[in-house]
Structure 1
Amino acid sequence: MKAIRIEKDSDNIVHLVLDNPNASANIMDADFTESLRQAVRQLQGEDFRGIILRSAKSTFFAGGDLNRLYAARREDAEAFFSECQALKADLRWLETQGKPVVAAINGAALGGGWELALACHHRIALDDRRLKIGLPEVTLGLLPGGGGCVRMPRLLGLQNSLPYLLEGKQVSPQQALAAGLIQQLAADPQELLDHARDFVLANSDTPLLQPWDQPGYRMPGGDPRNPKNAQLLAAAPAMLIQKTKGCYPAPEAILSVAVEGAQVDFDTATRIESRYFVELACGQVAKNMIGTFWFGLNAIKAGDSLPESVRQMNTAPVKKIGVLGAGMMGAGIAYACASKGVEVVLKDVSLEGAEKGKSYAQKSLQKRLERGRMDQSRMEAILNRIHPTDQVGDLDGCELVIEAVFEDRKLKASVTRETEAVLAESAIFASNTSTLPITGLAEASGRPANFIGLHFFSPAEKMPLVEIICGQETSEETLGRAYAFVLQIGKTPIIVNDSRGFFTSRVFGCFTNEGIAMLGEGVNPATIESAAAQAGFPVGPLAVSDEVSMTLMSKIRQQTIADLQEEGKSVPSHPADKVIDHMLELGRAGKASGGGFYSYPESASKHLWPGLAKEFPQGEQPPFADVRERLLFAMAVETLRCYEENVLRSVREANIGSIFGIGFPPWSGGALQYVNQYGPVEFAARARELAALYGDRFEPPALLRQLEESAQQLTDE
């Protein structure tokens, strides 16, 4: 057997040792399923007192074989279904053969790993808060297909199981014990094994059944016909659609399996689960999400986008950084870094301003403390790492300084020169600019090889992405150190080359501008926001414009105009410009100024400003599909241009960056994967339709025309 070793101890207890020799973690691949099948056949003819499932790896079991799932096609559905059923039959034998089966969980048990544990009569886990238990399949567009959707409701009840199934909730061993997912904790590996043996020896003389196989079993909380469940389930589909907007088939399938499976016998329920699972695995949304959130993200974390020489660098963790500017962005960066163990000097023009920046972290941490998500000692440790100051000399000893002052070229140049005077020659200076080219900003630096862009997103302590921008003189060593630092503070880095607006700001501006332009054309503002929601965007273009503020949009545009004129280049215009100018004339610059496209009453929820109807009279409404696709295509076409112009270095970074940084719908797999799944030929044809109707900004760039002619997709292969 390739992935499982069978050992029998002196107490006649069988140990199924999970140990895939070809991988660092155990996964539910072909080797495992075949090994399990062989183990079951062998044990069917043997005498033993019980079975202990344990792992020889640092984790218990990592989950499904995503390579296999990613490759699944509809023409393979029947064979795929049969494979699923065969695996479940072996798991079913484990829990019905009569002897006690114990899962000794020494590390993470996620996805298929937790489903394997659920097929055991008793589950024991190491008491280590780093160990996670759960079913994250929904985050990859899938459902738990190894019995998870059947056993979890039977173990916890319908209502209590849904957060694990629908949200991919993961818990620590202590939380799992409290929830009834496991029955025991162990302090160390030896105690884990001792507890497992003790359970087997204490329960080996009488046949042992799972709760759901015992006579008279009733599902906790009742089945779907129970009045309390019936009331919940009547509203659940509508609530689910409100959340997913119909873009994500996995949550709907999970709810269907849980409810349908709860009304039939166990074996029928597992067949229902397999059918839904195969349908999702062969579908496009799962392909999009697995490709980006698993393969793409892992490649980025492994540094696949870095030059080979940089990947070979041995980069030490950063111990101390400086942050210039204690506004919302600077305060958020300081908080994000301090929470990961980095000492932070937070400098502002006044000590009062710097202290206010530190209080931002204090308020956020206090909320976590009150909710029981953090203890007092950890809160104090984080706050003690943030050192507010108004003295530039306090930056001495910082290995990295991140400038987060206003988007003003002269101001940035001034703080660059002032700060570099007190830094060591090896220190890195990074600008958090969202639009100004790094090469130009580096002109103020005495060491441009150490100058780089680190573009965080607001709120910096929550947003997962950091855009790393290399100037013309940025050294590979600086890039490598910056990349390692971003990973050190738990963020996802993407590398882009220098240009105005870089990638994220440039493409994000297309989203807001397209929504604003449609308003100026007379499209109903509620239709614009609704189309964005139904496309899968987290926030509509009008609402997010209010958050950004039209004052900032106007300043960025004016700075761009000035820079381009100085360079002797033509100044582009967009139909949104006149709408923004008019809103500013009306004194409605956005949320911070009291109102913009939305009104923000103190005692009620925000709502679209009624005055929009007068200021931007509505005409004949375009098809809803056009409104929806204009938002998607505006971003996707501009992303194609960024890739064509070598602003973007890889397809995976385009996809990750568009989702993590600027809210492109996750179901699509990202802006370039949206082009792939639409089909380059079909996408180009639709882009031309939109260009003819709404403007040449939708015209296919040369790269898309090449893809159209070759019928190829965008990949990093």
Structure 2
Amino acid sequence: MIYQGNAITVTRGGDDIATLTFDLQGESVNKLSSAVIAELEQAVKAIQAESGLAGLVLASAKEAFIVGADITEFQAMFGKGGEFLESMLHRVHGIFNAIEDLPFPTVTAINGLALGGGCEVLLTTDFRVMGDKAQIGLPETKLGILPGWGGCVRLPRLIGADNAIEWIAGGTQNRADAALKVGAVDAVVPGEQLEAAALDILARANAGELDYRARREEKMQPLRLGPIEQMMAFETAKGYVAGKAGPHYPAPVEAIKVIQKGAGEERARAQAIEAKAFAKLAMTEVAFNLVGLFMSDQVVKKKGGQFEKQARPVKQAAVLGAGIMGGGIAYQSASKGTPILMKDIKEEAIQLGLKEARKLFTKQVERKKLTPEQMAEKLANIRPTLTYGDFGSVDLVVEAVVENPKVKGAVLTEVEGLVGEETILASNTSTISITRLASSLKRPENFCGMHFFNPVHRMPLVEVIRGEKTSDAAVAATVAYARAMGKTPIVVNDCPGFLVNRVLFPYFGGFSQLMAQGADFQRVDKVMEKFGWPMGPAYLLDVVGMDTAVHAGEVMAEGFPERMGSLGGNGEKSAIQAMFENDRLGQKNDRGFYAYEEDRKGKPKKVSDEAAIALVKSVAKESREFSDEEIISRMMVPLCLETVRCLEDGIVGTPAEADMALIYGIGFPPFRGGALRYVDAMGVAAFVKLADGLAEELGPLYAPTEKLREMAAAGETFYAAPAQA
């Protein structure tokens, strides 16, 4: 034994080959925490001190190689400032460079996921052999930072600037065949042959058959690109990536700049450029929020996993109500391997549902994600039916009929009598109380809400809604089914609108008040899109549909009359109601706040419509100009306050779940971290002061809760300050 630690061991084998094995004790995966990096430093020193070695293999004893750096340490580290970060990075560079400079050939055996810092470790060795099921990549730009442990320096020299830009700026996970094609690895073999393949490469290098010194030299030198090639590679890429990433996500373009600046430099100088850029990005609010989001996502996944452990597996599902929504649910279930019955009372609805599923599968074939044979196999997982004949063997039924309590109640009562006693019933409702729908059921404990967002195949969130009598077993099975469908389920308690719609409608309420005071809805859309929303509120209402918005507004008004009464039409007519009454339903009939025409791909394209502008003006009580800051605060304060209320009322369990639901469900700008992180960033006291000022003029929708005032007075936040790493 050359070295023994808690995460790393180094052994000496036959032919004087050392094997450094990552195996972090007490964890299911290998992560590069500060403690593991300290061990790696000691392990490398022990290797350097060992005489007579002829080679080194880097390997992992776990299913994954190394999933990356320990992200739970990031925020505390970032909080220590740029100088600390640069110093830390230079120390890691020193350790990694020591591996790269060992006086004998080195190889990494990549047996599973090797991401971020895990990928940067394997770039230090002379050779890489990869298991056929493994994946590698540098996803740091998705966290608002860039590879800081040599990834921006070594990868371009290994696979060329163009390929490295694609990997790093895109933050992609790359399969073994793709890695071999660009030269990131030297061989791909079945997992059980990894060790033998790695040892064979070292033997060939020691025999002079493979020139490891030439390989190493290439990684140390400037990139072999002439001035014109450099301009073509970098300037074109910066323009394209900036367009894709948008102005709120600087990391992908910054990564290209780092590769460009380091292209003409040798290793030490290129690494210094990388370290400086990493420290600069790490100090931004975007990086802080995106790292926070990653950790929130882990909270949500962990909770989902805990439910899944308790669940009876769903081997056969069913959806009631075909059409677009039913077809989307059937597609999602079938595509992920759970067979599903799709029932409707009308043959034309069945055909519409099948057409929707077929269209989505065809797109997968066109994108080469599926072969025609795989499409046929998956499509066979959907069995259309006009009867309940096979429902006796179904584990879970999703009811997706029209959003009407009487119709839903009748369908649920009917199907309950035809399924097994343990079958779970779940209603895909966006607003109707689960407790109310359960009142006519004989087994209300087997019933919950399962709210999908439209379009089903794109939107990652599923709200699983617990009614007053819903059992843990029903929640667990529904969560497990949602996860099996590739969705992110978040469990919430029953109330009007549940979590996402309850929070969204005060946002629409803020919009309606702006319209009543004469704001230009097209300008409001532009301001909120610039703020980071994928679409402004008027455009979003057109996508949702004015009939749906009016119905949901009435539910909110009934449930929360004091602050949302106006959403149901009490008092003055809103711009949303005016649209509805004038049959301007939005995209579903090509007229709403905007008019819609088909673009070249057959998708609806919005255009300005004078009739809509005149209609909105007709319901305005006054004409006022608003600054961008006023528009943002008028829109965001009610949304954030309702999120606070949902947390206080126990509708959602944690700030992390609340924020992830808004990001996954309605496209809250991820770089802002979610509604509660947004309040934290502003400062709770500053937010309360802003809300109070607006409430004086605009009423209860803008009034802070008493508990929020107490948090402000005590200097508290929704997220605990990160512990110092």
TM-score by length of 2: 0.91
Unaligned 5+ segments in structure 1 are: none
Residue number in structure 1 paired with 2:276: 275
Residue number in structure 1 paired with 2:117: 112
User: 1:671-695 CA deviation, whole Å, 9 max, x = no partner?
Assistant: 1122122211111122223334555
Structure 2: distance between partners of 1:84 and 1:700: 43
Map 1:575-586 → 2, pairs under 5 A: 578-586=574-582
Q: Is the 8 A contact 2:221 2:265 kept in 1?
A: no
- Answering whether residue 182 of structure 2 is matched by residue 186 of structure 1, we say no
Amino acid of the structure 1 residue aligned with 2:316: K
Map 1:52-451 → 2, pairs under 5 A: 52-128=57-133, 131-189=134-192, 191-204=193-206, 208-209=212-213, 211=215, 213-214=217-218, 219=223, 222=226, 226-229=230-233, 231-232=235-236, 235=239, 240=242, 242-293=243-294, 295-303=295-303, 314-451=310-447
Structure 2: distance between partners of 1:603 and 1:489: 31
Residue number in structure 2 paired with 1:31: 35
Q: Is the 8 A contact 2:331 2:360 kept in 1?
A: no
Offset of residue 399 of structure 1? 1.3
Q: Is the 8 A contact 1:350 1:389 kept in 2?
A: no
Structure 2: distance between partners of 1:179 and 1:570: 60
Residue number in structure 1 paired with 2:633: 629
Residue number among 527, 545, 550 corresponding to 2:541 in the alignment: 545
**Change beyond 3 A, Cα 1:151–1:570:** closer
Structure 1: distance between partners of 2:699 and 2:33: 49
**Change beyond 3 A, Cα 1:683–1:112:** same
Structure 1: distance between partners of 2:491 and 2:614: 44
**Change beyond 3 A, Cα 1:224–1:234:** farther
Amino acid of the structure 2 residue aligned with 1:704: L
User: 1:464-518 CA deviation, whole Å, 9 max, x = no partner?
Assistant: 1111111111122222222222222222121111111111111122334434543
Amino acid of the structure 1 residue aligned with 2:257: S
Structure 1: distance between partners of 2:143 and 2:599: 39
Unaligned 5+ segments in structure 2 are: none
What SS does the aligned partner of 2:491 have?
strand
Offset of residue 185 of structure 1? 0.5
**Change beyond 3 A, Cα 1:509–1:180:** farther
Offset of residue 562 of structure 1? 7.2
Offset of residue 337 of structure 1? 1.2
Residue number in structure 1 paired with 2:18: 14
**Change beyond 3 A, Cα 1:81–1:228:** closer
- Answering whether residue 684 of structure 2 is matched by residue 688 of structure 1, we say no
Segment of structure 1 superposing worse, 495-504 or 333-342: 333-342
Offset of residue 116 of structure 1? 0.9
Structure 2: distance between partners of 1:43 and 1:429: 60
**Change beyond 3 A, Cα 1:692–1:183:** farther
Q: Percent identity between the aligned chains?
A: 32
Residue number in structure 2 paired with 1:49: 54
Structure 1: distance between partners of 2:572 and 2:316: 43
Q: Is the 8 A contact 2:221 2:266 kept in 1?
A: no
Amino acid of the structure 1 residue aligned with 2:584: R
Structure 1: distance between partners of 2:640 and 2:365: 41
Residue number among 4, 22, 26 corresponding to 2:8 in the alignment: 4
Residue number among 667, 671, 676 corresponding to 2:675 in the alignment: 671
Amino acid of the structure 1 residue aligned with 2:643: T
Offset of residue 94 of structure 1? 2.1
Amino acid of the structure 1 residue aligned with 2:637: F
Amino acid of the structure 2 residue aligned with 1:199: I
User: 1:438-488 CA deviation, whole Å, 9 max, x = no partner?
Assistant: 111111212111111111111112211111111111122222222222222
What SS does the aligned partner of 2:109 have?
strand
Residue number in structure 1 paired with 2:496: 500
Q: Is the 8 A contact 1:12 1:49 kept in 2?
A: yes
Offset of residue 317 of structure 1? 1.4
Q: Is the 8 A contact 1:345 1:387 kept in 2?
A: yes
TM-score by length of 1: 0.92
Q: Is the 8 A contact 1:399 1:427 kept in 2?
A: yes
What SS does the aligned partner of 2:598 have?
coil
What SS does the aligned partner of 2:574 have?
helix
Segment of structure 1 superposing worse, 685-694 or 392-401: 685-694
Amino acid of the structure 2 residue aligned with 1:669: G
Q: Is the 8 A contact 1:324 1:404 kept in 2?
A: yes
Q: Is the 8 A contact 2:496 2:555 kept in 1?
A: no
Amino acid of the structure 1 residue aligned with 2:367: R
Amino acid of the structure 1 residue aligned with 2:340: V
User: 1:211-267 CA deviation, whole Å, 9 max, x = no partner?
Assistant: 57339967366568734236415735xx62x55553334334323322222243321
Offset of residue 164 of structure 1? 1.7
Q: Is the 8 A contact 1:157 1:222 kept in 2?
A: no
Q: Is the 8 A contact 1:516 1:541 kept in 2?
A: no
Residue number in structure 2 paired with 1:462: 458
Residue number in structure 2 paired with 1:712: 716
Offset of residue 352 of structure 1? 3.1
Offset of residue 101 of structure 1? 1.4
Offset of residue 68 of structure 1? 1.7
User: 1:152-191 CA deviation, whole Å, 9 max, x = no partner?
Assistant: 22233333222321221111111211232212111232x2
**Change beyond 3 A, Cα 1:183–1:635:** same
